[in-house]
Amino acid sequence: MTKKQESVLVTGADGFIGSHLTELLVREGYKVKALSQYNSFNYWGWLEDIECRNKIEVLNGDVRDPHYCKHITKDVDIVFHLAALIAIPYSYVAPDSYVDTNIKGTLNICQAAMENGVKRVIHTSTSEVYGTAQYVPIDEKHQLQPQSPYSASKIGADAMAMSFFNAFNLPVTIARPFNTYGPRQSARAVIPTIITQIANGKKQIKLGDVSPTRDFNYVLDTCRGFLELARCTAAIGETVNIGSNYEISVGDTLALIRELMSSDVEFLTDEQRIRPEKSEVFRLWCDNTKIHGMTGFKPSFDIRAGLQATVDWFTNPDNLRKYKADIYNV
């Protein structure tokens, strides 16, 4: 008897990490449903560009609709819930939309998964929920600090997901990735912003504060972390960091990009890009002891190798033209 092919739903599959996770799951032999946010153009975001597009079932809808969530989770073994609003600056001006998508969307997915008997739910958190590090490296016991409406909404979403484990025994794992970068990342993020502007010949680039530190992780490593957690029964009911246990400042990261691209670009401070003082997260450094102990996971890409792969992708003319390097994206 052949083993049943496991069915997987990826919400937010049309986004940066979701599209890479979709590709990984197909390579690993899963039957994949990929949720793209509904639009009248029938446009599937980054799913338009993946090689396995004909091997997946693309769904068009919205996690804010509980009835739709119940429909798409039928006959699904594993849900990877990535659908979210993630831009921090936009959360300052449109916080209500973050509550609707991030908290209520998570409620809808968990409720639907429970009613349809889904075997595993991997809910996506973010290192932003920790706020500025009170100690380093940051383990899963670190306090949570809502320093932006975005991080507050993700704290609420995480709590909602875990409540379904505690109250209803839904097999939930909260995957908490630190700063992910790589091909297809949103233009609002600092690494694509720098690469695309240098590639377009800019001699000066305006930036916010470059002193904060981050634990940057190449997207393929983040996706492997998600998959390892989905395969680990010990991770049920747990919150688990996905990171490299390596800290680097934003300024040093930009200098490395400049070196890799053989550029002499000058970085300038732009006041409109600086977060409100109490909202800036100054230090993030992941303690990945827990995921390594549970699954043996450790990153395959160091920061130089990951950035080189990212530069190579963004500087491909077919990819570069998809980004508006002259516009500041919130």
Q: Are 221 and 243 in contact (CB under 8 A)?
A: no
Q: What is the CATH number of the domain that holds 207?
A: 3.90.25.10
Q: What is the CATH number of the domain that holds 158?
A: 3.40.50.720
Express each pLDDT in 277-287 by its tens digit.
888 999 999 99
Residue 68's pLDDT band, with cuts at 50, 70 and 90, is very high
Least Cα distance to 89 among 323, 214, 274 occurs for: 274
Cα–Cα dist 207/96, whole Å = 27
| Residue 251 and residue 159 share a domain | no
Dihedral angle sign, alpha carbons of residues 94, 97, 103, 106: negative
Tell me which residue range forms the domain holding 205: 190-214+246-285+302-320
3 or 310, higher pLDDT:
310
Express each pLDDT in 106-149 by its tens digit.
999 999 999 999 999 999 999 999 999 999 999 999 999 999 99
Residue 11's pLDDT band, with cuts at 50, 70 and 90, is very high
Residue 33's pLDDT band, with cuts at 50, 70 and 90, is very high
Q: What per-residue confidence (pLDDT) applies to 196?
A: 95
What's the token pair of residue 13?
């599959």
Residue 179 pLDDT exceeds 70? yes
What's the token pair of residue 136?
């380093």
Residue 2 pLDDT exceeds 60? no
Q: Find the mean pLDDT for residues 177-192.
A: 95
The CB-side HSE value for 296 (13 A sphere, CA atoms) comes to 1
Q: What per-residue confidence (pLDDT) applies to 325?
A: 80
What's the token pair of residue 254?
């930009």
The pTM (predicted TM-score) of the whole model is 0.96
| Residue 77 and residue 165 share a domain | yes
What's the token pair of residue 109?
């997915």
Residue 329's pLDDT band, with cuts at 50, 70 and 90, is low
Tell me the three-class secondary structure of the chain, residue by residue.
CCCCCCEEEEECCCCHHHHHHHHHHHHCCCEEEEEEECCCCCCCHHHHHCCCHHHCEEEEECCCCHHHHHHHCCCCCEEEECCCCCCHHHHHHCHHHHHHHHHHHHHHHHHHHHHCCCCEEEEECCHHHHCCCCCCCECCCCCCCCCCHHHHHHHHHHHHHHHHHHHHCCCEEEEEECCEECCCCCCCCHHHHHHHHHHCCCCEEEECCCCCEECCEEHHHHHHHHHHHHCCHHHCCCEEEECCCCCEEHHHHHHHHHHHCCCCCEEEECHHHCCCHHHCCCECCECCHHHHHHHCCCCCCCHHHHHHHHHHHHCCHHHHCCCCCCCCCC
Residue 98 pLDDT exceeds 70? yes
Q: What per-residue confidence (pLDDT) applies to 272?
A: 66
Specify if 133 maps to a domain.
yes
Cα–Cα dist 218/228, whole Å = 16
Q: What per-residue confidence (pLDDT) applies to 327?
A: 75
> How many angstroms separate the Cα of 11 from the Cα of each of 208, 209, 301?
31, 32, 26
Q: What per-residue confidence (pLDDT) applies to 242?
A: 98
Q: How many domains does the chain fold into?
A: 2
Q: What per-residue confidence (pLDDT) applies to 209?
A: 86
Residue 47 pLDDT exceeds 60? yes
Residue 269's DSSP bridge partners are 207
| Residue 152 and residue 270 share a domain | no
Average pLDDT of the chain is: 95
Express each pLDDT in 211-262 by its tens digit.
999 999 999 999 999 999 999 999 999 999 999 999 999 999 999 999 999 9
What's the token pair of residue 244?
């490299």
| Residue 204 and residue 174 share a domain | no
| Residue 226 and residue 210 share a domain | no
Q: What per-residue confidence (pLDDT) applies to 273?
A: 66
| Residue 81 and residue 195 share a domain | no
| Residue 158 and residue 37 share a domain | yes
> 117: phi > 0 → left, psi -120 to 50 → alpha, else beta; which?
left
| Residue 75 and residue 21 share a domain | yes
Q: Find the mean pLDDT for residues 38-49.
A: 95
Residue 274's pLDDT band, with cuts at 50, 70 and 90, is confident
Specify if 266 maps to a domain.
yes
| Residue 312 and residue 232 share a domain | no
> Residue holding tokens 């998964």?
113
Cα–Cα dist 158/154, whole Å = 6
| Residue 144 and residue 162 share a domain | yes
